[in-house]
Amino acid sequence: MNCRIMSTTASPVIIIPARMAASRLPGKPLADIGGKPMICHVWDRAREADIAPVWVATDDERIAAAIRDAGGEAVLTRADHQSGSDRTFEAVSLIDPDGAYDLVLNLQGDLPELDPAIPARLFRTATRSGAELSTLVTPASAEEAAREQVVKAVVSWDGAPDGDGEGDIGRALYFSRAMVPHGDAPRWHHIGVYGWRRDALARFVSLPPAPLEIAERLEQLRALEAGMRIAVASIDKAPAGVDTAEDLAATRARLATPAGS
Domain at 160, CATH number: 3.90.550.10
pTM: 0.90
Question: Do 222 and 135 lie in a common domain?
Answer: yes
Residue 244 belongs to some domain of the structure: no
Question: Do 140 and 83 lie in a common domain?
Answer: no
Give the pLDDT confidence score for residue 164 in this predicted structure.
Answer: 47
Domain final position from 89, 114, 139:
114
Classify residue 141 by its DSSP letter: P
For residue 249, what are the contacts with CB-CB under 8 A and spacing of at least 6? none
Judge whether residue 66 has pLDDT over 90: yes
Classify residue 195 by its DSSP letter: E
The mean pLDDT of the chain is: 90
Residue 73 belongs to some domain of the structure: yes
Give the model's confidence band at 58: pLDDT under 50 very low, under 70 low, under 90 confident, else very high: very high
Question: Do 108 and 137 lie in a common domain?
Answer: no
CA distance 159 to 97: 40
| Lowest-confidence segment of 56-70, 91-105, 151-165, 184-198 by average pLDDT | 151-165
**Domain total in the chain:** 2
Residue 211: exposure state from Cβ atoms within 10 A (0-12, 13-18, ≥19): exposed
CB-based contact 92:104 (threshold 8 Å):
yes
Question: Do 140 and 227 lie in a common domain?
Answer: yes
Residue 4 belongs to some domain of the structure: no
180: containing domain: 131-190+199-238
Query: Tell me: the pLDDT tens digits for 94-150?
Result: 999 999 999 999 999 999 999 999 999 999 999 999 999 999 999 999 999 999 989
Question: Do 40 and 75 lie in a common domain?
Answer: yes
Give the model's confidence band at 2: pLDDT under 50 very low, under 70 low, under 90 confident, else very high: very low
Give the pLDDT confidence score for residue 25 in this predicted structure.
Answer: 81
Residue 167 belongs to some domain of the structure: yes
Domain final position from 114, 139, 166:
114
Is the Cα dihedral 219, 154, 42, 94 positive or negative?
Answer: negative
- Dmax (CA) for the chain in angstroms is 51
Question: Do 19 and 107 lie in a common domain?
Answer: yes
Give the model's confidence band at 6: pLDDT under 50 very low, under 70 low, under 90 confident, else very high: very low
Classify residue 71 by its DSSP letter: T
> How many CB atoms sit inside 10 A of residue 107's CB?
27
Question: Do 217 and 162 lie in a common domain?
Answer: yes
Give the model's confidence band at 86: pLDDT under 50 very low, under 70 low, under 90 confident, else very high: very high
